[in-house]
Each structure stands twice: as structure tokens, then as C-alpha cells.
Amino acid sequence: MANFNTHLNVAFMASGTLSLTVYKAGLIDDSGFLMCVALGTIGGLLPDLDSDNSTPIKLGFNITSFIFAFGLVMHWRSDLSLLALIALWLAGYGFMRYVVFHIFTTMTVHRGVMHSVPYMAILGLGLTYLSYSVLQLPLTASWFYGLFLFSGAMVHLALDELYSVNLSNMKMKRSSGTAMKFYQHKDKWWYLLLYVILALLIYFAPPFDEFWQQLRDPAPWAKLKIGLWPELIKNWLN
């Protein structure tokens, strides 16, 4: 499968290109452009969260452990002595970094249900719902955020499938079909749960028709077409 740097770089380039396209079309603002690039890049790393030795999961748990320990200290800062706070800081960090991390890696299997299309669709739709219904962000931005997270994850899965082909003699490796999958019989009950959750998220998702109408509006794409080429090239073409 592709390594961490490949996933990071390809997801960044893909999300950056798509984000810049919708930004130049006027469909998102400055902050929306940056968020779409970031979310697309993050999405390109998400499927490897079920790998015990992956860089994203180690980095994520390190950051989470620091935040958890900091939260404990801030909560008890007025009630405990300095030595007690230091002990609480170390205990909180150690609990998250080693105990919770061990439980997480024990319960997850690399290229299991987390490394699948429906799981990533749940994360994308979940982000759209959270952005619109909880954070009260605009409808268009909310849908773009979820779609970019999902698209970044699809780039990751597509890369893993591409790397499962031995191009020298055009043979499929044993890992072929384990990346971009919709179902595995050995995990049938997990997949049943995934599709139930996905169906609920689709039902409660923010209105899609309005967002789709904005995408179908020819005005933004006409604006994008006008600003597609630099002035020097346009003058040369004319």
C-alpha cells in the first residue's frame, strides 16, 4: 500500500486543486477554502487510523493525550498542590497514550471496517450534519466540508488499491480489494451497523437540493471560465 508521505502529498494536491476551483467559482469564501484543503488532506489520512503503527494514529493519540492531561490540570488547578498536579498530568497523559491507545489498537484491525467506503461516508456525512445543525455553518460550506473529507478518504483508498497492482507483471497482490471495499462477509454484522448509521445520517442530513441547485447554477462556472487563463495566455489565444 502507499506510505504516509504519498497519502499526505496526493491528498493535499487533490484537495488543494478542487478547493481552489470552487473558491475561484465563488462557491466558498477564504476561510472555506482553507478548511476544504485541510479537511481533504485529513481525509487522505483517516483510513489508516486502524493501523497500530501508522503515523496518523500515533500523532493523533499523542496530541489527544496532551489535551486530555491539560484538561485535567486546568480542571483541578485550584484544588491540588503543584506536586499533585504534576502527578495528575503524567497520569492523565499515560492513561490516554498507553491504556486507551492499547485498547483501541486491540479492538481494531488494519484494513477492517474502518478502511472502507461506508465508514468514510459516515464520517463525511457526520461532519456535514455537525457543521450545519450544531455549529450553524452555512449549508453550502457544510456540504463542501463533508464532501472534501470524504473525497480525501477516497483518494487514500484509491491509492492503496493502485499500489495493490504489481505493475511490472500486471498481477494483483494479495492486498487487492482490501482497501476500497463496501462489504466483507467476515465483518457482516459490523457492516450492517455501518449501513444503518449511514441510512440515518442520510435521512437527517441537511437539505441537499439547495446545495445541488447552487452547483448546477451556470453563473459560478461562467465566472470560473472567465478567470481560467492568465491574461497573457488569453491575449495570445485571441
Long-range contacts of 31-35 (CB under 8 A, 24+ apart): 32/141, 32/144, 35/141, 35/145
Joined grid coordinates for residue 62: 499523542
Tens digit of pLDDT for each residue in 169-223?
A: 445 455 455 566 777 777 778 888 889 999 999 999 899 988 898 888 888 777 7
User: Distance between CA atoms of 156 and 152, rounded to whole angstroms?
Assistant: 6
Q: Look up the pTM and report it.
A: 0.71
For residues 125 and 174, the model is more confident at 125
User: Distance between CA atoms of 149 and 42, rounded to whole angstroms?
Assistant: 7
Q: What is the mean pLDDT of residues 51-60?
A: 62
| DSSP designation for 206 | P
- % of residues, the chain, pLDDT over 70: 73
How far from chain centre, in Å, is Cα 108? 18
Tell me the backbone φ, ψ of residue 172, rounded to 5 degrees: -85, 135
